[in-house]
Amino acid sequence: MKKEIEMILEKLEGFQSPKLYLEQYVTPSNLAAFIVTNAKLFGDLEIVVDLGCGTGILAIASAILGAFAIGVDVDVEALRIARRNAKKLGIEANFVACDVKDFKVKKRCTVIMNPPFGIQKRHADRVFLEKAFEIAEKIYTIHSAGSEEFVRRYAEKNCFAVTHVWRLTIPLRKTYSFHEKPFKEIAVEVFRIERKSCVSGGQDRKC
């Protein structure tokens, strides 16, 4: 199943003119396929919100596996491509133009995201994690290698727990003119995080 999804995702269009200040990079199709097939096995693919969806690969990959998918991004140009990508595959997915910090959703969902790593703008990934802690039951999120301690601590603080960490190396396609090689291997960590049910005042309650 993973290979088939990967081959479908290979056909998607990427950013036309990527914006460095938004840290726009497309998630490689094998990593997107890896995450959604795992999420499917965990039963986490009902309502999926892709925060910072860019050209839509994670939202579309989730929708291929049956999720009701919503992609959120501030960049309307990227969203136009995301909509085109979904249409080309005949996939239903919803795309919303909005800053992640202002996004609201009524039902608790699964967030699947590849947030900015915070290289251009320090802590840019925090807004994404905070929003995910607000709206999600389960979170799949991609970070640069070495983020584990920070992500675990931040999750605990928000009454969430990291259940899985996958350490992978992914090929990053040349996106900006300062990239010297067509591909660069980068080490990433992918986390599965879930909301804890906390005991308070003798009663089990959801945080």
Kindly report the number of other CB atoms within 10 A of residue 67's CB atom. Answer: 25
Q: 55 vs 147, which CB is nearer to ligand SAH? A: 55
CA distance 103 to 181: 36
Kindly report the number of other CB atoms within 10 A of residue 143's CB atom. Answer: 21
Contact letters (x/-) for ligand SAH, 65-84, by CB under 6 A?
--------xxx--x------
Position among 5, 22, 33, 132 found at the interface with ligand SAH (CB under 6 A): 22
Nearest 10 degrees: Cα torsion 104, 86, 18, 48 = 30
E strand intervals along the chain: 47-51, 68-73, 94-97, 109-113, 136-144, 160-173, 183-195, 197-200, 203-206
DSSP code of 65?
A: T
Position among 33, 47, 52, 93 found at the interface with ligand SAH (CB under 6 A): 52
Answer yes or no whether residue 168 interacts with ligand SAH by CB under 6 A: no
Query: What are the Cα distances from residue 118, in Å, to 79, 84, 98, 162?
Result: 21, 28, 19, 20
For residues 172 and 183, the answer to whether their CB atoms sit within 8 Å is: yes
Choices 22-30, 146-154, 155-163, 196-204 (CB under 6 A): range interacting with ligand SAH: 22-30
Contact letters (x/-) for ligand SAH, 102-121, by CB under 6 A?
------------x-x-----
Find the shortest distance in angstroms from Cβ 200 to ligand SAH. 32
Position among 54, 61, 67, 160 found at the interface with ligand SAH (CB under 6 A): 54
Site for ligand SAH in 116-155 (CB under 6 A): 116, 127
Angular region, 52: left φ>0, alpha ψ -120 to 50, beta rest: left
Find the shortest distance in angstroms from Cβ 181 to ligand SAH. 20
Position among 4, 10, 99, 156 found at the interface with ligand SAH (CB under 6 A): 99
Find the shortest distance in angstroms from Cβ 20 to ligand SAH. 10
Find the shortest distance in angstroms from Cβ 9 to ligand SAH. 10
